[in-house]
Chains A and B, each alone.
Chain A
Amino acid sequence: MTAGLSGRAAICGIGQTEFSKESGRTELQLACECVKSALDDAGLSPADVDGLVTFTMDTTEEIDLVRNLGIGQLSMFSRVPYGGGAAAGTVLQAAMAVATGVADVVVCYRAFNERSGMRFGGFASTLTSMPLFLSWYGPYGLLTPASWVALHARRYMEAYGVTNADFAPIAVVDRTHAATNPDAWFHGRPITVEDHQASRWIVEPVLRLLDCCQESDGGVAVVVTSTERARSLRHEPAVVVAAAQGATFDGESMTSYYRDDLTGLPEMGVVGRRLWEMSGLGPDDIQTAFLYDHFTPFVLMQLEELGFCGRGEAKEFATVENLSIGGRLPINTNGGLLGEAYIHGMNGITEGVRQIRGTSHNQVDAVEHVLVTSGTGVPTSGLILGRA
């Protein structure tokens, strides 16, 4: 009965802190700030909130948010696992709660000091013992998300004759969009294909520096309520037309090296099929997308999993022209994780809402539906947002 969810809930508020490399305050404070900002945007007060959803990885406890914001009581709270794969999943959880009457107003949040605090790409430098999940990889020097992704992506490159240069358009498009977004860390700093190709290797021969998203401090929150209630609030609702999570057999978190075929992202395949089925839409119905871009190769693979092009065709599809404003599928109009900030994908959802409202700094014409995906190489999630 997944069709029962389509159209029932909407995002009525979005909020964020500034995006920086050193916030200078606690993750708890960042969470308080972004949630308050989202409620203000919606025209709601903390007293209206009765549900909270965040990432398993988030350090801010629900009860601490309640105590800081003065929320009276919660009737629903849940967390979504697998790092950035959780982002759209938080909205799915919220939409289910709203659609079933379990909660009326649910806030989804993610706030961290991922640059000034614990860095995902650097934590291994300080390890004194090997965590269990890393024991099949870490002793051999496969110690960072970039290296985990690269070993997988190289199979894709081998299968379809893809080289690192084929990833350049993703970085160039993201940074071009970031350049005109005042909220983006890389505001005013576009790059060229030559810049991409001149950047140093992070994991040879797959990922250069400009293939890897930045690390950021900041927080992002969205407010989900019923579409009916959202219509009475101050902004045009961004309706949850479809929402899905996906996981498949023999996967791991970032190190899914054991499936027969390593040229795809089957978790995203599950999400894509569910989104199209639930919405009754197809790739041609999407005017702009936020494709999770922690590492550029997985953006190409997402285009294939979601059906925007055929298997092995993404290197032809993913040109700067096609992915820019005015092209076939403008992506990451806020600059993406590479250009705006790495807020674990939650800033892709807020950008999707802005595209529906018509308030993006890089607004696409005549937007009816926006696709938003979450972390790849892990169990993941996705959303299609639309107009009320």
Chain B
Amino acid sequence: MSGRLAPSMTPDTAFFWEGVRDHRLLIQRCTECGTLRHPPRPMCPRCTSLSWEAIEASGRGTVLSFVMPRHPQFPGFDERFIVALVELEEGTRLVSNLVGTTPEEASIGMAVEVRFEHFDNDVVLPQFVPAGGGPGGAAGAAPDPGTGADR
């Protein structure tokens, strides 16, 4: 794997990326009203509380949308790599890549699960694969020893 540009972070968002480094997909939760939110921000839009904690997501979700950016091509990405909008089973959404499948096998609504990819330049990112049993799913495919996939 070649490198990916590292995300920038602020004190509001650093916990998410620190979690990713530890192979934990974290979601911000308001400790007053319990509302989950992503992307992270300092205030709960439901109750305006500034108190929050991070909970660990199950890592399971479904694909809401996916596209294959073809032009321009950027270093470090395959020619028909897949960018997906994933809705986690907890209810929040995040953008990530769909890997371990093809544009033809992927579908909106397909079940996916997270794994964590270490890129050459020490960047770690959450990536999603078809849920176990699906086309190219984690349970059906040989684990890639170089990726650090742990789910």
Which A residues have a C-beta under 8 Å from some C-beta of B? Answer: 121-122, 124-125, 127, 129-132, 135-144, 146-147, 150-152, 154-155, 158, 200-206, 209, 249-250, 255, 257-258, 262
Known contacts A136-B94, A151-B67; A143 and B4 CB within 8 A of each other:
no
Which B residues have a C-beta under 8 Å from some C-beta of A? Answer: 4-10, 13, 38-39, 45, 64-72, 74, 76-77, 80-81, 83, 85, 92-97, 103, 108, 123, 125
Cα A203 to Cα B68 in complex, Å, equals 6
Cα A142 to Cα B97 in complex, Å, equals 10
State how many angstroms separate the Cβ of B100 from the closest Cβ of chain A.
15
Known contacts A129-B6, A130-B6, A158-B108; A140 and B71 CB within 8 A of each other:
no
Partner of A143, one of B8, B38, B74: B74
Partner of A135, one of B9, B71, B83: B9
15 new A-B contacts at CB < 8 Å, known A139-B4, A139-B125 = A136-B95, A139-B7, A142-B83, A142-B95, A150-B67, A150-B69, A151-B65, A151-B85, A155-B65, A155-B85, A200-B70, A202-B69, A202-B70, A258-B38, A258-B39
Report A-chain residues with C-beta under 8 Å of the C-beta of B81.
Answer: 141
Report A-chain residues with C-beta under 8 Å of the C-beta of B71.
Answer: 200-202, 209
> Which of B45, B74, B81, B97 has the most A CB atoms < 10 Å from its CB?
B74
List 3 A-B pairs, minimum CB-CB distance, nearest first: A135-B7, A204-B68, A147-B69
- B95 pairs with A131, CB closer than 8 A: no
- A257 pairs with B85, CB closer than 8 A: yes
- A154 pairs with B8, CB closer than 8 A: no
State how many angstroms separate the Cβ of B8 from the closest Cβ of chain A.
5
- B7 pairs with A143, CB closer than 8 A: no
- A129 pairs with B8, CB closer than 8 A: yes
- A132 pairs with B8, CB closer than 8 A: yes
Known contacts A139-B125, A257-B85; A154 and B5 CB within 8 A of each other:
no
State how many angstroms separate the Cβ of B150 from the closest Cβ of chain A.
19
Cα A265 to Cα B85 in complex, Å, equals 17
State how many angstroms separate the Cβ of B141 from the closest Cβ of chain A.
21
- A206 pairs with B67, CB closer than 8 A: yes
- B5 pairs with A140, CB closer than 8 A: no
Cα A141 to Cα B90 in complex, Å, equals 25
- B74 pairs with A125, CB closer than 8 A: yes
